[in-house]
Amino acid sequence: MYGGLHSPRPLPSDHALLELAREFTPRVEARGPTPVLLDLHGLGRVWPTAEDLGQALLRAASERRLTPHVALAWTRAAALMAARGRAGLTIIPAGQEAAALAPLPLLLLDLDPQRQELFHRWGLRTIGDLAGLPAAGLSSRLGPDGPRLRRLARGEDDVPLVPTPLPETFALTLDLDWPVDGLEPLSFLLTRVLEPLCHGLAARGRRAAALALDLRLVDGSLHSRTLKPAAPSVEPRTWRTLILLDLEVHPPSEAVQRITVRAEPTPARTVQFSLLDPAQPSPERLAETMARLHAWTTAGRGGAAALLDTHRPGAFAVGTFLPGPATGGAAAGGPWPARVALRAFRPPLPAHVVLRDGAPAFVSAPGVRGAVVERAGPWRASGDWWDVAWSREEWDVALGTGIYRIFRDRLREAWFVEGELD
Amino acid sequence: MGSPLKIALQDLLRARRLQAEAPPLRGEDRRLSPLATGIPAIDVLLGGGFPRGQVSEACGPASSGRTGLALGLLARTTRRGALAAWVDPEDRLDPTSAAATGVDLTRLLWLRGQPRTSRGLPEAVAAVGTLLGSGLFEAVVLDLAGVPVPEIRRLPGATWIRLQRMVEETPTVFVLLADAHTARGPGGVSLRLEPAGPRWSGPPGPGRLLRGLGAQALAGGHPVRRTDLELQAFS
């Protein structure tokens, strides 16, 4: 048996009838806020007769302060049209669909304006008028649409029920009997919330791109945290670790009375693994590792360096560590020459430099001191005259303790040790 | 197996198998194969490269080529598509040098310490533990060069044993850079570098360039094996 719900009056919300229908069955098709079609098969053990079921629907609607038209029939078309055309409760016995629909106006067939005008010119006013026409005649005049409309007018089903999916809200709340203080007991409780939440996400082919955690504290305040890792995840263990790491840094001020976790769903990534490409690090483990290093990353002391598009020496920025896909490593083969690297002092060490014939002869700076044994330079460079200008004169000098790069800031007329060459 | 597609696939698989430098395929265990630095003299000296799952060290005084050697290792690692990390309690890494050496900076996690803070070194060691425990990084370098020896000695005695235990179940190469011998795992290598002086492009005077640094690398105990190392300057 099928049911139809229709409300000619404005509804308190677009989902009011849908939510009412879902109290009875998950197989519900909403055609906008109204009408709503219900698949009521298999409810005979709870409501033995159609009358009982109809009254139950009316009672449930009344509890929600709704006054919909309710129709029960053995075909979907009949249930829907009867609900739209008749007030109160309508029950159409099996086989009597055509007779029950016959007095209803033709408008309920949702005809397009041209077809409606045509039927009006033919003198058709009710659904019964159309249902009484011969199928062959309709077919010869209207093509395949003619018999289809006639079947519809007789209450015969043409299209299957297409259930409206449940709204994707992924949130779970856990009310605690006793307040919980400390992260360790909270860890177990988080697992209880996160496991079903992640299971629900996975069942719908979703992952959580972000997670909002609301902790209701015993003093009535709300401790809210939002986590957005680099990669979406559906692993409860990963999320629990990320939450605990975050709560270590931002602990709640009081004991926790209620835990609410809301996930922001995102479609699961589809990865076609390649036989020949290198294995990629798991995004979840990478996100977890970066969360464990939060003391470094949040202070801007951890990440991937990027060189800036400037000639200013030592210009770089540190950004989020998000390694892209590997390119296959074709460029890595073969021997690679060893290179001299600079071990930079940050900031450069202010130095006192003794010059002889215009070249450094002695360098003295904190931790770096000695006579210059050999040198190369000077190499002059300048730039950014339109912004924060810089101009310097570089020397590579060999002291008894190592090879250093020193420079003279020509704008400030001061010497610095930039770093050790190693 | 006569189709051209199958033959091409077989060739690819064979090439991948023969190319020991290629990143591991899914499920392939590379724990027993050392990680080559790409510097032929050093790889020969170390018997193929730095061993995986072991604490190794490259130590030497200033300008002995420790940093250039370690960046060479990371360049090779990151260019093959693997991830690497540089833990830098003294904040001495120069990204320009790293990029010039060939390091793919997007695949290098750089943790910069705060020099002159008492918690800098313990925090760096804790970060190394996290990196090793993750198993995501093929090479992890802890740069202790320039860190005063008393500060290193103030670390808990079990620090290096703990790190060895963490790394030994992973295919990660863990290298300590230091001024002097600090620690080494039972199967790790201790590479000592001794500076052999700078190489200049010509006689003293204007236009002279630093052409590179010379160094001598020593490994092993009895007998000590040694090789000469030349590091090229960028300019």
Contact B23 A329 (CB under 8 A): yes
B15 found inside a domain: no
* CATH number for region A170-267: 3.30.1490.100
Residue type, B187: G
Instruction: Give the per-residue pLDDT at A273.
Output: 62
**Which residues have CB under 8 Å from A266's CB, separation 6+?**
A206, A207, A208, A209, A232
B127 within 8 A of B74, measured Cβ to Cβ:
no
Question: Tokens for B170?
Answer: 């992973």
Residue pair B74/B84 in contact (Cβ under 8 Å)? The answer is yes
C-alpha A348 chain-centroid distance:
45
Band of pLDDT at residue B18, cut at 50, 70 and 90: very low
Interval B204-214: pLDDT, tens: 888 888 999 99
Specify if B210 maps to a domain. Answer: yes
Secondary-structure breakdown of chain B: helix, strand, coil percentages, each rounded to the nearest 5: 30, 25, 40
Q: Which residues contact A84 (CB under 8 A, 6 or more apart)?
A: A4, A6, A35, A69, A108
Residues of chain B with Cβ-Cβ distance to A396 below 8 Å are 198, 210, 233
Q: Which chain A residue's Cα is nearest to B136? A: A281
B210 contacts on A by Cβ (under 8 Å): 340, 376, 396, 403, 421
Q: For residue A216, with 0-12 CB atoms within 10 Å meaning exposed, 13-18 middle and 19 or more buried, which class applies? A: buried
Looking at residue A330, its pLDDT comes to 46
Determine whether the interchain pair B95/A307 forms a contact, defined as Cβ–Cβ distance below 8 Å: yes
Please check whether residue B37 lies inside any domain of the structure: yes
Kindly report each contact of residues A227-231 with a partner whose C-beta sits within 8 Å and lies 24 or more positions away, as own/partner.
Answer: A229/A287, A229/A288, A229/A290, A229/A291, A230/A283, A230/A286, A230/A287, A230/A290, A230/A320, A230/A322, A231/A283, A231/A284, A231/A286, A231/A287
| Contact criterion met (CB below 8 Å) for A141 and A124 | no
* Helices B120-134 + B159-167 axis angle, to 10: 20
From the CA atom positions of chain A, what is the Rg in Å? 38
How many whole angstroms separate alpha carbon A76 and alpha carbon A157?
6
Mean pLDDT of B195-203: 89
**Token duo for residue A277:** 């490409």
Cα distance from A245 to chain B (closest Cα, Å)? 13
Residues of B numbered 134-193 whose beta carbons fall under 8 angstroms of chain A's beta carbons: which are they?
A: 134-136, 145-146
Using alpha carbons, list the distances in angstroms from residue A198 to A205, A289, A405: 10, 20, 55
Q: Nearest-CA residue of chain A relative to B101?
A: A339
Neighbours of B25 (CB within 10 A): 16
Amino acid type, A351 = A
**Structural domains of chain B, count:** 1
Contact B54, B174 (CB under 8 A): yes
Q: B134–A342: do the CB atoms touch at under 8 Å?
A: no
- Residue that has been written with the tokens 């006689």 in this structure: B203
Which residue in the block uniquely carries the two structure tokens 């005049």? A141
- Residue A252 distance to chain B (closest CA, Å): 25
| Nearest one of A13, A10, A5 to A54, comparing CA atoms | A5
* Residue B5 identity: L
Alpha helices in B80-119 (DSSP H): 95-101
Phi/psi for B44 (5° steps) reads: -65, -45
Torsion of CA A134, A140, A142, A147, to 10 degrees: 40
Of residues A296, A318, A338, nearest to B229 (C-beta): A338
Instruction: Say which CATH number the domain at B90 has.
Output: 3.40.50.300
pLDDT reported for residue A270: 65
Contacts of A293 in chain B (CB under 8 A): 111, 127, 130-131
Query: Is residue B214 one of the residues assigned to a domain?
Result: yes
In a domain, B4, yes or no: no
Strand partners, B11: none
The pLDDT score that the predictor gives to residue A158 is: 81
Q: Is the pLDDT of residue B55 over 90?
A: yes
Q: What is the mean pLDDT of residues B57-66?
A: 94
**Amino acid letter, A279:** A
Residue B199 pLDDT > 70, yes or no?
yes
Whole-angstrom distance, CA of residue B105 vs CA of residue A304? 6
Query: Is residue B46 a part of any domain in this protein?
Result: yes
pTM of the complete model: 0.68
Q: Cβ distance B91 to B123 under 8 Å? A: no
Give the residue among A225, A207, A221, A234 at the shortest CA–CA distance from A261: A225
Q: Tell me if residue B194 falls in helix, strand or coil.
A: strand
Interval B55-67 mean pLDDT? 94
Cα–Cα distance for residue pair A66/A20, rounded to 1 Å:
9
* B6 within some domain: no
**CA B86 – CA B145 distance, rounded (Å):** 13
- Peptide bond just before A105 cis, omega within 30 deg: no
The interface pTM score, or ipTM, of the predicted complex is 0.86
* Contact across the interface for A340 and B209, Cβ inside 8 Å: no
pLDDT > 60? residue B19: no
Separation of alpha carbons A421 and A97, rounded Å = 93
Where exactly are the structural domains of chain A? 2-153, 170-267, 342-421
User: Has residue B169 been placed in a domain?
Assistant: yes
Domain extent for B66 = 29-232
- Secondary structure of A269-331 in HEC code, one letter for each residue: CCCCCCCCCCCCCCHHHHHHHHHHCHHHHCCCCEEEEEECCCCCCCCEEEECCCCCCCCCCHH
Query: What local confidence, expressed as pLDDT, does residue B13 receive?
Result: 64
Adjacent-strand bridge partners of A212: A226, A262
pLDDT tens, chain A, 422 aa long: 899 999 988 888 888 898 899 889 989 998 888 899 999 998 888 999 999 999 999 999 999 899 999 999 999 999 999 999 999 999 999 999 999 999 999 888 888 899 889 999 999 999 999 999 998 998 999 888 899 999 999 999 888 888 888 777 789 999 998 999 888 889 999 999 999 999 988 888 888 889 999 999 999 999 999 988 877 888 888 889 889 988 988 899 999 999 999 998 888 766 666 666 556 677 778 888 888 887 787 777 889 999 999 888 889 999 888 887 765 554 555 567 789 999 999 999 999 999 998 899 999 999 899 999 999 989 999 988 888 899 999 999 999 989 999 999 999 999 999 999 99
pLDDT digits (tens, 9 = 90+) for B20-53: 455 555 555 555 688 888 888 899 999 889 999 9
3 state SS for chain A? CEEEEECCCCCCCCCHHHHHHHCCCCCEEECCCCCEEEECCCCCCCCCCHHHHHHHHHHHHHHCCCCCEEEEECCHHHHHHHHHHCCCEEECCCCCHHHHHCCCEHHHHCCCHHHHHHHHHCCCCEHHHHHCCCHHHHHHHHCCHHHHHHHHHCCCCCCCCCCCCCCCCEEEEEEEEEEECCHHHHHHHHHHHHHHHHHHHHHCCEEEEEEEEEEEECCCCEEEEEECCCCCECCHHHHHHHHHHHHHHCCCCCCEEEEEEEEEEEECCCCCCCCCCCCCCCHHHHHHHHHHCHHHHCCCCEEEEEECCCCCCCCEEEECCCCCCCCCCHHHCCCCCCECCEEEEEEEEEEEEEEECCEEEEEEECCEEEECCEEEEEEEEEECCCCCCEEEEEEEEEECCEEEEEEEECCCCEEEEEEEEC
A2-153 has CATH 3.30.420.40 classification: no
pLDDT confidence of residue B234: 63
Cβ atoms of A407 and A416 closer than 8 Å:
yes
Q: Minimal Cα distance from A277: which residue of B?
A: B25
